[in-house]
Structure 1
Amino acid sequence: MNTGTRARLDRIGTDDRYVVVPMDHGITLGATQGLKDLESTVDAITRGGADAVLTQRGVADRVHPNKNDAGYIAHLNGSTVIGPDENDKRMTGTVEDAIRAGADAVSMHINVGSVHEREQIEDLAQMTSEAERYGLPVLAMTYARGPDIDPEADDYNQAVGHAVRLGEELGADVVKTGYTGDAESFQHVVESTSLPVVIAGGSKGTDEETLDMVRGAMDAGASGVSMGRSIFQHDEPEKIARAVASVVHDDAEADAALREAGLAVEA
């Protein structure tokens, strides 16, 4: 890892742990809750302790004035829920575009096991090569998704472990993937790569479910979260960001983190 990459990783995390809030959902879902007034949401989650905000590069000018010195990651591929195939992620920019947008890092989503895997492997490999030339870190969102992958199967964590290892093999610096449901099964995923592993949030759940998931991932050896809707769609995004950051950075238990953030522990 070159000096520039190392320095920029420090801008999107704290002591090699990461609380990233992806807000690139405007391409996928449209101007959903939390994204219409993007400026206020960015301000709230970064005041709450998010290390970095992630968006498509086109809205970077709405992020920078409101991110309270947090890092900025430009996401460089996407798709929509109203298109023919949401898993068919296509490139939306280049590393140079991201640099011009003031990014400290770039990210890309790849669905390992999908019918689009081949093209997405090529795209990620090209992006990591380009990013390395500029000393820009790459967050690879490596999901196990495809016709032969069953999230309910006993060996699902094997597929997720394969996905994160693919991210390392292709030159990423941090890998993001889905949580496998418990710390025991997720430990295999973390052990499948030498890179920091951060978990996705998925669909918004209860506060307790969210914090229990983060706690389980950290217990398995994860390095943090890249969690979107569970944070930016929350009624109190600053508070939930603070609770997640407490688990990731302060090693707090889930219930204690919720109490300290001013969120009631649900019965």
Structure 2
Amino acid sequence: MRRIPQIDRWPGADHEARSPLPPGLIAALLAAAALAAGLAVTVRWAASPPPLAPPPAKVERPAILGVAPLRLVEAGIDPVKVEPGRIDPRTGLREDVLARGHFEAPEAPVLRLALTRGAGAERAPGLFVLLARRAAVPMAGGMPLSVRRTGSRDAVATRFGTAETVEATLTGEVTRRCTGFVTAQPGLRIDGFLCGPLGTAPDARSLACTLDALELDDPGDPTASAAFATARATSDCPATAAAEGPSRTGSVPRRRADTKN
């Protein structure tokens, strides 16, 4: 009987098993897999809602209070105006602003000062920062001012202690020569600027007389009221409007214009 040889594998099976896929086909398969994964991510991102924007930061505005019994017992051409008080929400300090005169009217002096009260009121920024801040806030019916330049610094004795001063040229619709000032004691600060009439710069006595004439009697703030009541004048200025002589215009005497820049 003839024996039929046994065939375990198909011819060419070893060759097919050992042959890798063509490089081009492998690259095509990898590219297709990458494309499919990218499409899946894109579809998932498009289906998900966009992230919510963070809510806008809340802006804390100063609390507006009534008008403080702040006054200036000194004669002058223009009436004294006191703005409603404000409490800074960041510091809790109260600020009351007093103003007299119109910056655009060069025949009369101009005064703008702020009384700041509360714990830490004496810790203030520099005089230039305070002056720029006061100038930038428009007076009633006026325009914001800017500090064109500053000059020499000095110190003036006042009833509230030594006031730091600086010569300054302020500019708005017109340009005027002024003196910026600040004086502070624990819980109390007074800062602002005083401008002379007819192109003159106020002198030290004018500033001292202006602060001598400042009065506060606030039943809601006995500490500040006591500080005003016990502050003694350091100059020979009149204490009341009735004592004001005819030779002065407001708080600034008329004098020869200073030619110093």
With normalisation by structure 1, the TM-score equals 0.27
Greater fraction of residues in helix:
1
Greater fraction of residues in strand:
2
Q: Which has the larger radius of gyration?
A: 2
The one of the two structures with greater contact order (alpha-carbon pairs below 8 A, sep at least 6) is 1
